[in-house]
Amino acid sequence: MKTTNNTILVTGGGTGMGLEAAKHFSELGNKVIIVARNAERLREEAAKLANTTAIPCDLSNEDELRNLVFILKRDYSDLNMIFLNAGIATNYGLLEGENAYEISKAEMITNFHSAVLLTNELEGLLADKPESAMILTTSGVAFVPDLLHPTYSATKAALHSYALGLRLVLQKKESTIKVFELMAPLVDTPFSKAVKSDVKMPANQIIKELIAGLEKDDFELHVGLTQQIAELSRKSTQEALKFINSVTG
């Protein structure tokens, strides 16, 4: 996959990996569209980058999400890449969250349902390009759950399953769209501030590995500790479960 001269949508683009991705893609000569809820911060960050536009949007709000799709189809007909990176997580123990049901709904809507809507609604726009891509951010917790984030882990497992199916369907259609899955480790960002761990990986390094993987058409990227989790899970789910919860707990 080429990593220059694209028009790229980045959700969760106001902070963390999304913002790092916007910076790297901008530096590579791409047109970048960043999306996040905090309009003021998003516009401040976009103003610092070349060829970058901010579109404020709360991905948990269906009306705002569909309006984002409308704007993209109307104003960005050259869109050929989407990096669906936005996510929310709540730190609580399994069977200990008083509002676990409501927490799980909010996480699933933002982390999973928004990706389903965007991939379905934008597939036609991307498919008419000679080269295009959908990039979905999941995690090592898609293999086995981090029990500090039990329902967040479940959303990433759902998204991993969805990415596998999406890739197969597009291949059968002989579509130009390539589906990449960035299986990120624990990232050193405000997102993971509540997790006490010494194995957090800088967002900058993860995005460098993402870009290298795009260039090599490495469709399932196991970055950092995710590689070890993937290998352990193939041998023993229980050993992988013990490992991930020892490094995050």
CA Rg, the chain, in Å?
Answer: 17
- Active-site residue, selected from the candidate residues 76, 92, 101, 152: 152
Spell out the residues 6+ positions from residue 164 whose beta carbon is closer than 8 angstroms to its own.
none
Residue 221's Cβ-side half-sphere holds a number of Cα atoms within 13 Å equal to 25
In the chain, the N- to C-terminal Cα span, in Å, equals: 37
User: Pseudo-torsion of CA 15, 197, 220, 229, nearest 10°?
Assistant: -170
Asked if residues 14 and 41 have their Cβ atoms less than 8 Å apart, the reply is: yes
Q: Helix, strand or coil for residue 27?
A: helix
Sign of the Cα torsion 232, 18, 86, 210 reads negative
- Pairing of the two strands 31-36 and 52-56: parallel
Q: Answer yes or no: 92 catalytic.
A: no
Active site residues: 152
